[in-house]
Each structure stands twice: as C-alpha cells, then as structure tokens.
Structure 1
Amino acid sequence: MSHRFMPIVLVALFLGAVTSTAMAAGKVLVVQSYHQGYAWVDDIDTGINKALENAGYEVKTFYMDTKRKTSEEWKVQSGQDAMAMVESFKPDVVITADDNAQKYFAQRLAGKPGAPQVVFCGVNADPADYGFPAANVTGIIERPHFAQTIGMYQKINPAAKKLVMISDDSITSVNTMKFCKLQDTPIPVADYQNPTTWEQWQKAITDASENADAVVMFNYHTVKQAADDAQSMAPKEVMDWTISNCKVPVIALLTFGVQDGALCGIAEDGREHGYLAGNMAKELIGSSKKASEFPIARAHRGLVMINLKTAETLKIKVPYAMIKAAKVVIK
C-alpha cells in the first residue's frame, strides 16, 4: 500500500468498515451509500450475507453514511475512502449499493484496467449515468412499485381522485420521481415535490392535505432544518410529524415508510437486491465469467404491507382479502 493512501485508510476504519471472518477463498468489498441501522441498508446486508454464507469469502463492508451527512465534501471524501479500501484490500468483487456509491465511487472503476468486478444494486438512476454497464460492471436496478401501490390504495378508497407525491431531495428520490412520472397510474398524480428544508416539507404536506386524497411518499431521510445544514434531521421526527399532521392517508414505496406510519404500500425489498447482487458476486468469483456477461437486471419482488394501526386511527376499513394477502401487517 502506498503511503499516500494510509491516512485515508485510517479514516475509513474509523468511519465504519466491517469485516467478516476470513477463509481466503475470495474477497468481496461491499460499499453501502448509507449507514448501518438504516432499514434499507440492513436489508441489503442481510441479503448479501444470505447469498454468501458458507462461501468462505473474506467480506468487508464500508458505509459511506451519505444519508445523514449530505455535504458534497463528505460524499467526495467517502468515495475516496472507499477507493482507498479497494487499493488496500484488493477485492475480487465490489458490491455497491444505491446511487451515491455509484456516483462518488464505482463509476471510477468502470472499464478501468486491473479494477475488480463490480456488481451494483439499489440503483434508481439510469445506469448509463454512471457509465454502466462496462466490461467489469453489472448489477440490479431499483424501480418502485409505484402504479401497483396506487392501485392498492384505490381498492381501499375507490373514491380517490387525485394524489401528490412528496419525497426528500436526495439523488435517490429525484431519480425515482423521474421514473414515477413516466408511469400510468390508476389515480392521477397531480404534483411531484422534493422539499429540501423542514419548512418546505411542512408546507408540502399541509398543501397536499388540502388538495389531494392521499400522499405517495418515497423517502424522508435528507430533510434539513436549513438548506445549508450538513446534517439531516432524524427521519422519525419527520415522519412522526407528517403522520400526525397530514389530513389524508400517506402511502409508501419503501418498507420503513409503512413501518413508520404510512397506511399501506408495495415496497421494494432490500433483501432481494442484496441476495441477487451476492449471487452475482459468488458466480463471478467461482467462474471465469466477467461482469459484462451478466445483463443488468431488475428486482421484481414487492412486499405488500398494511399498517392496521394507522387504518384504525384514520377510521379506514381495509378489505379483509387485502389483509390476508399482505406479507407484512402492522397491528
């Protein structure tokens, strides 16, 4: 390892690189855009671990923590720290999760001679935005079950005529909305908003309460008290206020949204993303195949979720057949 990387590697260790038990059959570096304890990240980790269990690989995980710390300087530094881990650890395969890991790290490996194979997952943008696919890069794109979630709500409230979608201003949310705007939906979505500040968020929710029959929510984890704050607000604080003050139901596209109080949703499953990416990594290590031989794929499994506590609070009757069919019911 060259001396110019040593300080960055030390920083990376303090920032939260986690190492599994090693058996030296192969090396996998997982680079997560966000932090441990964030439900989506934990689910991806669970899926990867399931795919790689008993494979005997040495696995390290680096958490860029760009959901809580959102300054450009932090994102750039985190990408540099991840690159330093590639230099020191020399993995056979790198699994990169979510868009910031691609933008600030993985795209620098795409097509680079001598670079490890890269398998991405949880990517909301067009992979071409990051130079993917490449000779050494493939992966799993994330696309929300947007129209299906709205169709689910329509069965609960057939009288609904108009919806509004509200999500934070993260790169993940912005790219997700690009996809959602192109979809045909059973109920029209009249407006799409990406508030940055807490004041903007509160106004968006208040306006939607007066002008829509429900709010479709994707993410709420990068809302800040002020636009130039480097640290995001606690997501629970944002969602608790939202559920308490929104006069119409909130429906969600991710698992934690329903867990935090949204009425229902058909959610992307991070475990599926992690499992598919882990299996690709295992096949790359165990064969002479290259990443370019694996077409970019899309995760398809959605978790049907219903929050009956919220339904009771809102005095909404959820059809029994829907409750029976749901994968997750919160009581």
Structure 2
Amino acid sequence: MVNHLNRLIPLLFIFGFIAYTLIAVQNKPRVLVLHSYHIGYSWTDRVNIGIAQVLKDEAFSVRYHYMDTKRHSGSGFKSRAGTRAQKLIDSWEPHVIIAVDDNAQKYVTKHYLNHPKINVVFSGVNAKPEAYGFDQADNVTGILERRPLPIVKESILKIFFPDSINIADSNPVDVVFITDNSTTSKLNIELIKQYTWAPEINLDIIKVCSYKQWQEAVLLANQQSDLILLNGYKTLVPAKDAEGKDPCNSKGKDRVAVKEVIKWTQENTANVPVLGFSSSYVNDGGQIAFSASPVEQGHVASEMAIQIIHGKRPSELPIESAKQFTFYMRESLFERYPDIEIPFVYKALARATGNYYESDKK
C-alpha cells in the first residue's frame, strides 16, 4: 500500500502541475498579431521588431498569423486569407487583435466591429479609419501609417536640387511618381494628391499594372523629368499572362521578381535620380528611400494593446498618426550621384536603425 502511494504521489504532482499550467495558459490574456503580408517582407519584419520590444516582458499569450497578400494580390486569394484568419479568431478568441496593414482591416477586422469580447488595434493603415467603419466602433483604435511627405519634399529640394531653393524665379522641379496597382499604392496616391507640392515641385502620377508599362513609364521619366519617386512595384505582372492575354485583366498569379524590377530601373535611369518611397526599396537594390517607421507602428500598437488588456477601452485611446520616419541608403549612392551631400543626421539614422547598406551585396 505504501509503495502504491509512493508511486501515486509523483504522478498526482505531475498531473496537477500540467493542469495548473493549462489553466494558467488559458487564463493568460491572448493577443493575435495579424499581418496582411508575410515573414521576410522587410516592413512586416520590422513591425514585428517593434511589437516584440514592447510585449517581451508581458505575461501574454501571443500568436502571429500572416495573410500573405503581398505575394498573392488577387481578390480571391485575399478573401480566402481573410476567411482563414476569421476562423482562427473565432476559435482562439483573442482579447486583442493587433492588425497590421490595410488588407487585414478590409478582409478581417471589419467583421469584429463592436464585438463584446474582441478588441482591435490597427497598425500600418493607409486609408482613413472611416473606410473600414472604425469611426462607428467603440472597440477599435490604432496608429495610421502616413508617409513622411514633408521630409520627402524637403529632401528632394535640399539633397538633389539645392540650387532651386536659392533662386527665387527658378523653374519647379519635375517629379514623376511611379507605382503599381496594389491596394497600398492606390491609398498612397490619394494621400499624395492631397499634399501641397507646388510651387517648388510639379508632381505627375503614373499608375501601372504590368512590367512593360513600368518600363515605358521609367524610360519616359528618365528623359522628361528631374527626379523619379518610386512607390509600389511588387505586384507587377509580366507583359502577357500564360494565355497571352492582357495581364491587367488576368487573374493569373505570376509576378515579376522585385530585384529584377529594381535592377532594370537602376540601369535605365542614368539621367535622373531615383528616390524610393517604401521601406523595402533599398533592400531590393535601390540607393535611397524614406518611409514611415515600421518599428514605431509596432511599438504604438503594442502599447495600446497593453492598455486595453489592463482595462482601458479602445474608445478611450485616440487614434494616432505616424510621427517617426526611417531613412534607408546604400553606400554606392555616392558613386551614382557624386555631387549630392546626404545630411550627417540622415546617415546616422540609417546606421542606427540598420538601414545603411555598405555594399551592393547586402
């Protein structure tokens, strides 16, 4: 009898510990980080850095889910990705969803507005909050992604065309903004249209869907503009789809490799400087770029999530806009543009944030 008890006590202890652990895990606040894009996309990875820095010391149960809609931009795939995310949410029932970028809002979080148990903190959103009904929901807050347009304008003038600032009657700088047809690009176009570029800058906008259209736009801008501002290029399709049809009206999934797009663009813009408008441009082979800080997007969203879990209502936390920007540059920039001078503070920022590329190998 004693021997049986001696064997039973350790087993009871083990089972008790397992039960306690399961209950503790179940009772932990649950946070779902819902990404529109995929692991390995530089913006997404850096948002995750910001989230991890804030949540690392919190006793939360955190899960990550990636919709992968940057590499698969068809509406059918996006809808299915949204359905998969909703199934995860309905089964796991997170206390807070940190939803990153616009597709996560369009295909998922809008279905949880005013949910009694699930709260939403958005991040990296380019559209206005009312586009997703957030202005009518008391369980939603977040941070808007806004490109640092004043910094971009100032940099175009001071870095690339400093003489235009000092000449009172100088002709405005002709800038061409070239972008693909992605959801993010469409939203950025609306923001750019609302910004005041004149009188110092004349800005033309060209939106394309195929690689052929992209090449035509770049070649024309190389001959007729003073500077090219590049935005999205990751959803460009080949000149023809597999059936030889117009790719812009095709449901095909083929996309032109991004590094090929940037390599060709660099090789065919000898006459004008090219400035990137996204966090991944320099990583893909470009020389210089500005973007909103993805780390800030992760930081602010996570801090809001913590406040909500500790009792704050999302409606008590005002929606914020991006306040920080990130600068990216490649050292070979100075070979391509030997006459430009990058302010020391910009170079220091790029180095401090790991966005200074010392060679073309990185």
Alignment TM-score > 0.5, same fold: yes
Aligned to 2:127: 125
Contact 1:249 1:263 in 2 (8 A): no
Question: Residues of 2 paired with 1:147 and 1:95: CA distance?
Answer: 28
Which letter maps to 1:205? V
Q: What does residue 12 of structure 1 align with? A: none
- Partner Cα separation in structure 2 for residue 107 and residue 94 of structure 1: 12
1:68 and 2:93 are equivalent in the alignment:
no
SS for the counterpart of 2:73 is coil
**Structure 1 stretch displaced more, 160-169 or 172-181:** 160-169
Once the two structures are overlaid, the 10-residue window that deviates more, 289-298 or 117-126, is 289-298
User: Do residues 91 (structure 1) and 94 (structure 2) align?
Assistant: yes
1:40-92 Cα distance to aligned partner (Å, 9 max, x none): 01111111111111212111111111111111110000001110001111100
> Which residue in the other structure is 2:357 paired with?
330
- Find the partner of 1:142 among 140, 145, 152: 145
Contact 2:258–2:284 under 8 Å retained in 1? no
Structural mapping, 1:156-167, within 5 Å = 156-158=159-161, 161-167=173-179
**Aligned pair partner of 1:223 in 236, 240, 243:** 236
The letter of the residue matching 1:216 is L
> Which residue among 267, 272, 279 is the counterpart of 1:255?
279
- Number of equivalenced pairs: 308
- Could you say which residue in structure 2 is the equivalent of 1:239? 262
Give the secondary-structure state (helix, strand or coil) at the position aligned to 2:280. Answer: helix
Would the alpha carbon gap of residues 261 and 153 (structure 1) be closer, same or farther in structure 2, given more than 3 Å must change? farther
Match of 1:59 among 58, 62, 81: 62
Structure 2 SS opposite 1:237 = helix
TM-score (norm 1): 0.87
Residue 241 (structure 1) shift? 1.4
Cα distance change of structure 1 residues 319 and 94 upon mapping to structure 2, 3 Å threshold = closer
Q: Deviation of residue 317 (structure 1)?
A: 2.8
RMSD, aligned CA: 1.9
Please state if 1:292 is matched with 2:315. yes
CA distance in 2, matches of 1:322, 1:27: 40
- Contiguous gaps of at least 5 residues in structure 2: 1-24, 165-172, 239-246
Match of 1:19 in 2: none
- Does the CA-based 8 Å contact 2:291-2:326 persist in structure 1? yes
CA separation of 1:257 and 1:324: change in aligned 2, threshold 3 A? closer
Q: Report the CA distance between 1:127 and its aligned residue.
A: 1.2
Assess if the C-alpha contact under 8 Å between 2:47 and 2:297 holds in 1.
yes
Per-residue displacement from partner, 1:217-268 (whole Å, max 9, x unpaired)?
2221111113222243222221121112123111122222133344433321
Matched, 1:171 2:195: no
Once the two structures are aligned, what percentage of the paired residues are identical? 32
Contact conserved, 2:197 with 2:203, CA < 8 A, in 1?
no
Q: For 2:208 and 2:292, how far apart are their aligned partners in 1?
A: 22
Letter in 2 for 1:285: I
- Larger RCO (CA under 8 A, 6+ residues apart): 1
Residue 101 of structure 1 and its aligned partner are, at CA, apart by 0.7
Q: Is the Cα–Cα contact under 8 Å of residues 146 and 253 in structure 1 kept in the other structure?
A: no
CA shift for structure 1 position 24: 4.7
TM-score, normalised via structure 2 length: 0.80
Cross-structure match for 2:192: 180
Paired residues of 1:23 and 1:57 also in contact (CA < 8 A): no
* Separation in 1, partners of 2:339, 2:349: 17
Of residues 24, 47, 51, the one that matches 1:48 is: 51
Q: Larger radius of gyration, structure 1 or 2?
A: 2
- Structure 1 residues 235, 324: CA separation in 2 closer, same or farther (over 3 Å shift)? closer
| Structure 2 CA distance for partners of 1:189 and 1:143, relative to 1, 3 Å | farther
**CA shift in 2, pair 1:326/1:301, >3 Å:** same
SS of 2:195 mapped into structure 1: coil
Which deviates more from structure 2 when the two are superposed, residues 318-327 or residues 67-76? 318-327
Q: Secondary structure at the match of 1:276?
A: helix
